Chain A
Amino acid sequence: MLAYIIRRLIAVVLMLMVVTLVTLSIFFLIPKLTGSDPATMFVGKQADPAAIEGIRQKLGLGDPILVQFWHFVSGIFAGRDYVGGGSTIHCEAPCFGYSFKTEQDVWTMLSDRIPVTLSMVIGAAVIWLLLGVSTGVVSALKRGTLIDRTAMVTALAGVSLPIYFTAMLAMFLFRTQLGWLDAKWVPISENPGGWFMGLLLPWVTLAFLYAAMYARLTRATMLEVLGEDYIRTARAKGLTEPVVLGKHAMRSTMTPILTIFGMDFGALVGGAVLTETAFSLPGLGNAAFSAVGERDLPVILAVTLITAACVVFANLVVDLLYAVIDPRVRLA
């Protein structure tokens, strides 16, 4: 087990290195291919050649890609200095780069956004898991009934409607018209009640989409599992239905759900771009959205890395949980 975890962690680190190199290469190569200079994006209307050169020097845009890669990776562990124009800006470890748009080191910019995204994603995940899985199970058990059909039609709507539409509709109904809820970020440390009420609308909206997908997945998997021989055997042994379902059927049903959950959760922690943008929540996704609009490359790179890290770590946790949920799985 320990060896397995170590092997997976090494794979995670290698993968993140590859993601970093690829992302850096994209930022390095695309401007070259399109004939533009990223440094010009940081200067104003009266673009001064000295300003462009200064930015180029500080960003290290003239360095070979591997040198840029080394500077970036070493900066994460040891910090980094950005030198140019007779001044030096020190970016402390973990230095994920420096934004010349906001004049802040990227980690400072992003670190206070992580609680926002985590709050939103964890809350939504709890709702969608509870709602999606339970709906899927009930649908499977009540197959063909009105309950099943209603649940699946609702789930289809949930999957079909884009999040920006449901977010807009939710805001319109619950905030503008009814005045019941508003989407606002309030840190839990300041006001737990405000934190809860401010996130309720984004939670429900985000969870509606995912719960719909999980309901359909759970239903399909559950139906398949219920047809397995070992379920019939369990019933033949005289086990009660709750035990058959809870102890035997659910374990197998949860395996694919957990796999998908790992990826979804990881990707969302890296930034629920549409949800955060629609509700104006100052999370990682919101930062990514702004950064893409402004081509703030260091921020885009950092968010990409955080997303990749979240996905691979979530997958690692899921793999470890397999062994707990399904005794047939052995890690080696």
Chain B
Amino acid sequence: MMNTSSRRRIAAGALLAAATMVATTACGGGKGSGDAKGAGDLAFNGGVNKVLNASDKKGGELKFIGSQDADSWDPQRGYYGFMWDFARYYTRQLITFKAAPGTGSTELVPDLATDTGKVSPDGLTYTFTLKDGITWEDGKPITAQDIKYGIERIWAQDVISGGPIYLQQVLDPKSEYKGPYKDKAADKLGLKAIDTPDEKTIVFKLPKANGDFLQMLAMPSASPVRQDKDTGAQYALKPFSSGPYKWDSYKPKQAIKLVRNDKWDAKTDTVRKALPDKISVTFTTNADDMDNRLVEGEYDIDINATGVGPAARQKVLQQHKGNVDNPQTGFIRYAAFPQTVIPNIECRKAIIYAADTRSLQTARGGPQAGGDIASNMLPPAIKGADPKADPYGKLAGKPDLAKAKEALQKCGKPNGFKTTIAVRNNKPVEIATAESMQQALKAVNIDAQIDQYDGAQTTGIIGSPKVVKEKGYGIIIMGWGADFPSGQGFLQPLVDGRFILQSGNNNYSEINDPAINGLFDQALKETDPAKAGELYKQINTKVSDAAIYLPFTHEKNIIWRSSRLTNVYTADAYNGRYDYASLGVVK
């Protein structure tokens, strides 16, 4: 016989069980995609290497959502990949990437210029003529001087910091010019390497030839900025538009609204479709909630394009597979071995052989969310890449303990050694890969301790060779994507010894091989991309031989597109993101 207290306990238990069932049922259910109006076909990977739902229909609002704001919306300061893609809504350059899917997007086409430039036989002079009818958002013409002034802003690194500085390195390697804010010339156009004989002509004079110079001119950092509209460091808050949309409002980390720039003339622009009437971006701090809202159709696309999070991943792949693409991002995720900490090549080889690439791939999220196993340090989209080159047998996906032990013998440490794995504390996936490394290395008695450093201070910690040596970081977990699709854009910051910096260093292994440096010099002079590719292939082989990197994966993401979207395709030029400038929506 039950007493009152027992009955109450049972009643309370039943209530709790009922509540749990409600919650569980809720978790298993879901309203499904809220995309009431579809644009057409839906297919998994339907937007990879082809255009999905092609349309020229204008109107509607394209709704982006994201969990991270850009580092800066100033064309000369932004360095995030999604910023470069989005920036084409309000910036134009002399030349830009073709509006085409996949590798087709890496082709350069004229934008503000009439052609892709006239190059002198010695490769030192590039001359461009501007199109007629190109205007700013107030209707005034975009001039050669505006383009020069915009590029000059890169030199003012003490004000306009954070963006890529390739043009500065190529045009003025000694940094003799100090930027327009310190320019003594009345017109603030004192940079000698760029000449603007008239409003329609701009001439670049390079001290040394660089076969990738056009790639650099296609970056947002080569965008024009009008001097009277330049608000210096605060330009990012409301850039003055040269593209099809202009800034209506912006609250950092909250929202952006772009509206049509009615002064933009479509006839002058062959790459931007400018289909939506409005473009909005909402920033959220809850990434899981963001995925839910995308699936429900409240928003169209994740501006960051870093992939659907683990919480929604299965649901998306099982119930909404037609709404996702799984492109390669062009990033390689890897471990670098600083030579100052592990100087013996055989010790480094022991780490490479002992690592379990399948486990590392799983830690990164598996084949779809993590990517394909990588065996060398050039991504497939870069000329000179050979994804099958596998000097350490890593494509097999399992450790080679016999070779690891043999390498340890040669290294003089048959009983293993101790080292430290440096990993960012704000990247759970990287921490998982560090743990996978740690586990695999135990098999050959390599005792790797994991040090989770402050991810916000990457530049000053693993970017400082001094700190790396002091902390004894023998293994650094990192990732890298090309700033522009060439061997120079991807490999040079990582393996050219002349790129070793005391702060903000990316050549973590601190390799400084004259043969590699020399090959870069040869490749930079080469204007034929195929021939340059052969040289980058040689560099890549030498990098593998030096055993300074263990690549994990050629990264892939699972990215969401709403059913409302038209003209959807991923572009290699934008790290596998959708070409934002081509997207449209059904109303």
Contacting A295 at CB < 8 Å: which of B27, B29, B286, B457? Answer: B457
CA distance A150 to B182 in the complex (A): 72
**In the assembled complex, which residues on chain B have CB atoms less than 8 Å from the CB atom of A89?**
232-234
Given contacts A51-B162, A85-B156, A86-B181, contact A149 B8 (CB under 8 A): yes
Could you give, for residues 46-83 of chain A, a 1 whenever the CB lies within 8 Å of some chain B CB and a 0 otherwise?
11111111110100000000000000000000000000
* CB-nearest residue of chain B to A43: B161
Instruction: List the B side residues contacting A50 at CB < 8 Å.
Output: 157-158, 175
With A86-B159, A146-B8 in contact, do A44 and B79 touch (Cβ < 8 Å)? yes
Assess whether A40 is in contact with B27, with CB atoms less than 8 Å apart.
Answer: no
Decide yes or no whether B314 CB sits under 8 A from chain A: no
- A139-177 vs B, CB cutoff 8 Å, 1 = contact: the mask equals 000000010011001000000000000001101110011
A46 touches B164 (CB 8 A): yes
Q: Which of B37-45, B247-255, B260-268, B334-342 contacts A (4 or more CB under 8 A)?
A: B247-255
Number of interface residues of B (CB under 8 A): 61
Considering only CB atoms, which chain A residue lies closest to B290 in the complex? A280
Chain A hits for B72, CB < 8 A: 103
**Residues of chain B contacted by A328 (CB below 8 angstroms):** none
Q: Mark B179-218, 1 if CB is under 8 A from A, else 0.
A: 1011000000000000000000000000000000000000
Q: Do A280 and B285 have beta carbons less than 8 Å apart? A: yes
B residues 108-129 with Cβ under 8 Å of A?
none
B516 contacts the other chain (CB 8 A): no
User: Which of B26, B175, B289, B457 is in CB contact (< 8 Å) with A40?
Assistant: B457
At the interface, yes or no: A278 with Cβ under 8 Å from chain B? Answer: yes
A296, chain B: closest CB distance, angstroms: 9
Q: For the complex, would chain B's binding face be called helix, strand, loop or mixed by DSSP majority?
A: loop
Distance in Å from the Cβ of A10 to the closest Cβ of chain B? Answer: 37
Set of chain A residues within 8 Å of B284, measured between Cβ atoms: 280
Q: Does B461 have its Cβ within 8 Å of any Cβ on chain A? A: yes
Judging by beta carbons under 8 Å apart, are B289 and A171 in contact? yes
**A103-B179 in contact (CB<8A):** no
Decide if A44 touches B161 in the complex (CB within 8 Å).
Answer: yes
Q: Which of A47, A100, A290 is in CB contact (< 8 Å) with B459? A: A47
* Chain A residues, Cβ within 8 Å of B77: 44
B181 touches A85 (CB 8 A): yes
Residues of A within 8 A of B456 (CB): 41, 293-295
In the complex, what distance in Å separates the CA atom of A174 from the CA atom of B251?
Answer: 28
Q: Does A84 contact B (CB under 8 A)?
A: yes
* Distance (whole angstroms) from the CB of A154 to the closest CB of chain B: 10
CA distance A46 to B463 in the complex (A): 10
A189 at the interface (CB under 8 A from B): no
* B237 A43 Cβ-Cβ under 8 A: no
How far does the alpha carbon of A277 sit from the alpha carbon of B166 in the complex, in Å?
Answer: 37
A279 CB contacts on chain B under 8 angstroms = 286
Q: Check if A104 is an interface residue, CB within 8 A of chain B.
A: yes
Tell yes or no: B436 within 8 A of A by CB.
no
Q: Is the Cβ of B182 less than 8 Å from the Cβ of A47?
A: no
Residue of B156, B163, B464 near A44 (CB, 8 A) is B163
Within 8 A of B (CB), among A81-128: 84-87, 89, 100, 102-104, 109, 112
Known contacts A87-B159, A176-B296: A43-B285 contact under CB 8 Å: no
Question: B157 — which chain A residues lie within 8 A by C-beta?
Answer: 48, 50-51, 54, 85
List residues of A (294-314) whose CB comes within 8 Å of B's CBs.
294-295
A47 near B292: Cβ-Cβ < 8 Å:
no
Rounded to whole angstroms, the CA-CA distance of A57 and B463 in the bound complex is 21
A249 within 8 A of B: no
Which residues from 11 to 50 on chain B have a C-beta closer than 8 Å to any C-beta of chain A?
A: 12, 22-23, 26-27, 29-31
Expressed in whole angstroms, the Cα–Cα distance for A55 and B232 within the complex equals: 14
Is the CB–CB distance between A53 and B232 below 8 Å?
no
Stretch at the interface among B141-149, B501-509, B542-550, B555-563: B501-509
Given contacts A85-B182, A86-B178, 16 further A-B contacts (CB under 8 A): A34-B454, A35-B467, A40-B457, A49-B503, A86-B182, A87-B181, A103-B72, A103-B237, A172-B26, A173-B23, A176-B296, A177-B31, A276-B285, A278-B289, A293-B426, A295-B454
Closest 5 CB pairs of A and B: A47-B504, A54-B158, A85-B158, A86-B181, A51-B161
Residues of B within 8 A of A (CB): 8, 12, 22-23, 26-27, 29-31, 71-72, 77, 79, 156-159, 161-166, 175, 178-179, 181-182, 232-234, 236-237, 251-254, 284-286, 288-289, 292, 296, 426, 454, 456-457, 459-461, 463-464, 467, 470, 493, 501-504, 506
